[in-house]
Amino acid sequence: MNMQVRSLTELIGAEIVGVDLGKPLDEATKSRLYQYFADRAVLVFRDQDLDPPRFAAAAQLFGKIIPEQFDNYRLPEYPLVSSLSNRDLEQAGERRAVRGADFHTDHSNYAAPPKATVLYGVEIPPSGGGDTEFASVQAAYDDLPEATKRRIAGLKAVHAYRGARYDRKATDLTPELLAATPSAAHPIARRNPDNGRIGLYLSPNRVTGIPGIGEDEAFALLAGLFDHATQDKYIYRHKWRKGDMVIWDNRSVLHQATTDYDMNEYRYLYRVLIEGERPLAEAA
């Protein structure tokens, strides 16, 4: 197979050219793709022709799909795959927000959060808007002063569906569903076993605190790390085209949906999450 790889920024992202994800791939190609995923954190495959089963099969080149937590996002005809659109949070005809429009890492409140998220562009706004941004938390960690690395070594943050300073527009949950959502404590400096690097594991809207540290001090520490990690120099901004499949490593990057386009335009993607491990501390 004549696979080519183009770096998207100096730090993260690779576009894979010459691979048709709708067809079976040989073992050597699969393991090269996994290595690029581990090394570059975000992989982009353009011009793919994937229906939900083919999308699921392509995503499963990188691991096992875990079920979407909310039934209403599962595709009725193929529930292993869910949907993501800029109309998801509409209520009674009122558009309130877009899901995921703040830098975060997916489902960090799980004991074993998904290692990867995969999207496929089905309908992209005709104006070309609706980009997704990715920030390299591993490059950001590498650049921290040694004193800050020592300060956060061994510290854990507790993540819940709704953090202590939650200010996100998100899926409304009934009190029963909210009570059923998990919470978990994870290292702030997290090692990715697929590449051995350490990244800042942050998700501001989900954090309830850092055990042993007062809330104001904990949130000031986390805010400083977050501001550092989301500087422009760490970011790749993906401009979607219909037929793009994008996979990213939730241990290596933060991501956010952007909203600077006409919300009357429609944006619709398929989405799956790939099973991950319990987060490892930096010294693991």
Distance CA 60, CA 273 (A): 10
- How far apart, in whole angstroms, are the C-alpha atoms of residue 241 and residue 209? 39
Distance of CA 125 to the CA centre of its chain: 21
Name the minimum Å distance from CB 216 to ligand SIN.
28
Smaller CB separation from ligand SIN, 48 or 117? 117
CB 278 within 8 A of CB 107: no
Q: Which residue is nearest to ligand SIN (CB)?
A: 100
Comparing CB distances to ligand SIN, the nearer of 99 and 162 is 99
Distances (CA, A) of 225 to 150, 193, 197, 201, 212: 13, 22, 17, 10, 18
> How is residue 121 written in tokens?
């562009």
Q: For residues 195 and 203, which CB has a smaller minimum distance to ligand SIN in the complex?
A: 203
> Which CB sits closer to ligand SIN, 139 or 272?
272
Note whether 281 and 149 are within 8 A (CB). Answer: no
- Max distance between CA atoms of the chain, in angstroms, equals 55
Q: Between residues 99 and 151, which has the closer beta carbon with respect to ligand SIN?
A: 99
97 vs 153, which CB is nearer to ligand SIN?
97
Provide, rounded to whole angstroms, the least separation between the CB of residue 117 and ligand SIN.
Answer: 6
C-beta of 195 vs 205, nearer to ligand SIN: 205
If DSSP codes are grouped into helix, strand and coil, which group holds residue 59?
Answer: helix
State the Cα torsion 179-188-276-269 to the nearest 10°: 70
Cβ at position 191, least distance to ligand SIN in Å: 23
Comparing CB distances to ligand SIN, the nearer of 148 and 261 is: 261
How far is 220 from 190, CA to CA, in rounded Å?
19
- Residue 169 CA to residue 89 CA, distance in Å, equals 8
Question: Minimum Å distance from CB 100 to ligand SIN?
Answer: 2
Residues in the site for ligand SIN, rule: CB under 6 A?
84, 99-100, 117, 132, 255, 257
Instruction: Classify burial at 266, counting beta carbons within 10 Å of its beta carbon; exposed 0-12, middle 13-18, buried 19 or more.
Output: middle
Which strand ranges, in their side-by-side order, compose the sheet holding 198-200? 198-200, 189-191, 280-281
| 8 A C-beta contact, residue 249 and residue 113 | no
